[in-house]
Amino acid sequence: MILLNVVILIVGFVALVKGADLFVDGSAALAKIFHVPGLIIGLTIVALGTSAPELAVSTTAAIQGSNEIALSNVVGSNIFNLLCVLGACAVIHAVPVDKIVRKRDFPISIAAACFVLATVLVTASRVNGFSEVRMNADAGVIGRLAGLILLAAFLVYIGILVYNARKHPAKEEEGENKPVWKCLLFIVIGLALIVGGGQAVVNSAKAIALAAGMTETLVGLTIVAVGTSLPELVTSVTAARKGETAMAVGNAVGSNIFNLMLILGISTLIHPITVNWASVFDLGILIVISIITILFSISKSRINRWEGIVMLSLYVADVIFAIVR
């Protein structure tokens, strides 16, 4: 059984790499045809496509009542996107961070995380008044009203992106364009390989991890979160290697916004999420990491190689902390 899971893991990784290559090529070509900036494509089409595994895992977990996997998957994925995805891209190639990302998208992502954290803490104060703060003890609840607010905010955000894309179209580039049908075919096939490969990696890695005795919360925060974020990692790294750095940044930051607003919003509408104190601490860590990432991006308006190494090191430290606690 373990050997079979290892084989599935390898096949899944191969599908991820090839799918990401097709997906980036198709998305970049489509952006060129319709004069849409690569950043906008990264924040929308690419972010939505690579967030599909998180959506599938979190909604399924919510339907089955596995609330901790639903939340820890989102939080763990966002931490992975910031530290590993952007960190790995920076190690390969210094990543320029657009001014509008620092002023609009990063703050929106942090605001969404702060809103979720505040919701949990408010309900925690009403329920037990912080009388029992233990990692595995229940803290508070993310209810359906909070989910509706997150979804409403997400729709407003998408509306802003569409408005800006129409107001500031990308400059026309020289060179022959791929036919639209070919771009769409690349995107669909690439996305199918990404989602299928991601699920194969998640399922096989989760089976191996559970067999090793890991808890549900730890599996959600590490194995499932990393597995469902592999599309973001592979897609962003591929984009960075192809010189599409704006798309790489947009994918990572956009995926975080999708995860917090769309995925968590849908999950809470399906079933209110009871949050333990371990996830409360993880939300706090996510907010701190987001601020650190912004500070890195402010220096020379980019994340350089050494900052990327620091980000990767921080992720290793966070995983060790999650396991030890």
CATH of the domain at 82: 1.20.1420.30
| Other CB atoms within 10 A of residue 136 CB | 11
What is the pLDDT, as a whole number, of residue 111? Answer: 95
pLDDT in tens, 230-263: 777 877 887 777 777 777 788 788 889 988 998 8
The Cα 301–Cα 307 span in angstroms is 12
What is the pLDDT, as a whole number, of residue 310? Answer: 95
In a domain, 180, yes or no: no
In a domain, 71, yes or no: yes
What is the pLDDT, as a whole number, of residue 314? Answer: 94
The Cα 249–Cα 237 span in angstroms is 10
What is the pLDDT, as a whole number, of residue 197? Answer: 75
What is the pLDDT, as a whole number, of residue 18? Answer: 77
In a domain, 145, yes or no: yes
Element (H, E) at 131: none
Spans of the chain, pLDDT less than 70: 1, 16-17, 20, 24, 36, 38-39, 49-50, 52-54, 56-57, 60-61, 64-70, 124-139, 168-176, 198, 201-202, 205-206, 208-210, 212-228, 325
Number of domains in the chain: 1
pLDDT in tens, 32-51: 777 767 667 777 777 776 67
The Cα 20–Cα 6 span in angstroms is 21
The Cα 325–Cα 320 span in angstroms is 9
In a domain, 185, yes or no: no
In a domain, 105, yes or no: yes
166-174 LR contacts (CB < 8 Å, sep 24+): 168/37, 169/35, 169/36, 169/37, 170/31, 170/32, 170/35, 170/36, 170/37, 170/38, 171/35, 172/35, 173/32
In a domain, 182, yes or no: no
In a domain, 80, yes or no: yes
In a domain, 229, yes or no: yes
Q: 270 with 56: CB under 8 angstroms?
A: no
Residues in the chain: 325
Handedness of CA 247, 307, 238, 15 (dihedral sign): negative
Q: Which of 10, 5, 67, 52 is nearest to 210 (CA)?
A: 5
**Which domain covers residue 67, as residue numbers?**
38-169+212-324
